[in-house]
Amino acid sequence: MLCLTAPGQGSQKAGMLAPWLELPGAADRLADWSASSGLDLERLGTTATLQEITDTAVTQPLVVASALLGAAELRRRGQVPSDTLVAGHSIGEIAALAIAGVVSEADALRLASVRGAAMSRACAERPTGMIAVLGGVEADVLLALENAGLAPANRNGSGQIVAAGPLEACDALEKNPPTRARLRRLEVAGAFHTHHMASAVDEFRALADTVRVNDPELALLSNADGMVVASGRDALDRVVSQITHPVRWDLCTQTMLKLGVDAFVELPPSGALVGLAKRSMREVARHGVTVPEDIETALATVPALSGA
């Protein structure tokens, strides 16, 4: 069984869309998505600086566009089997909705643009941040976060929990880290997936309520609890709630293994999810797609994609 995954914020790279725009239909797709999002995605994905595309309002639609270009080329060259699982990490869930047929690609870019802009404004309300906690005993890590005044925003599995909250709380955790854990500050604008993003919810929900929704054509995993979601409306409602609730990628991984996933493909801009899978899904074949040539490798090594 194949699991097709879409990465989240932090995976962006300067110029990441350039190689994809040389493919049939890609430029037209991106032009349509630019109109939907109100952003010049071609410029942002080819010539913009890394600093410019690190802006939350830009990063989120750009990452979704990248994943959807990769998915479109994968379908053009091969096939996506009907029993494929689809999952996205954080903003990647919006790309996953489109890949599973819940929303159109254009609506996915509209949703990503509004979500990114609303969360960017929420970040400006108070200085907040995120810090990755690597290793340690989970119970000890969670207690240290609570003592510092931080929330576990991303529980990624493989000994990785991302904490989020006020900058002074991040400072407090660095002064008193959990035993046998390493800390790494993340270059993000705020405390995503916590109550600090509450002001972004209503604006995003208002748009989500107007979007045409279908039930998933492919099995779709939710970041909320790692479960397969059968209702398209429920899936989109969960993405709305996710703005202020933690990403449970650890539970998504558990479901993938339980259902018998034997091939894991991360769409562009890949790296983060393949890295997590390397540690938590060691017996599963893993493939990261960064440039179009990587699709050839996936087609050659994942029998389901080539129809073999």
Are 214 and 99 in contact by the 8 Å Cβ rule? The answer is: no
3-state secondary structure of 197: helix
CB-based contacts of 107, cutoff 8 Å, min separation 6: 36, 98, 211, 212
In the DSSP assignment, the letter for residue 287 is: E
Cis link prior to 269 (omega < 30° from 0)? yes
Distance CA 161, CA 261 (A): 23
Does 222 participate in catalysis according to the annotation? no
Residue of 34, 36, 113, 193 marked catalytic: 193
Which residues have CB under 8 Å from 227's CB, separation 6+?
Answer: 221, 251, 255
3-class DSSP state for residue 164?
A: strand
Strands (DSSP E) contained in the chain are: 2-6, 85-88, 128-135, 151-157, 160-166, 181-185, 219-220, 263-266, 285-288
193: left (phi over 0), alpha (psi -120 to 50) or beta: left
Pull the structure tokens for residue 45.
């994905």
Question: Is 193 an active-site residue?
Answer: yes
Whole-number CA gyration radius for the chain: 18
Q: What share of the chain is helix, strand, coil (3-state, %, to 5)?
A: 50, 15, 35
Closest to 269 measured CA to CA, from 109, 71, 30, 66: 66
Q: Which of 36, 90, 113, 270 is catalytic?
A: 90
- Distance, in Å, from the CA atom of 199 to the CA atom of 272, rounded to the nearest integer, reads 28
Provide the annotated active-site residues. Answer: 90, 193
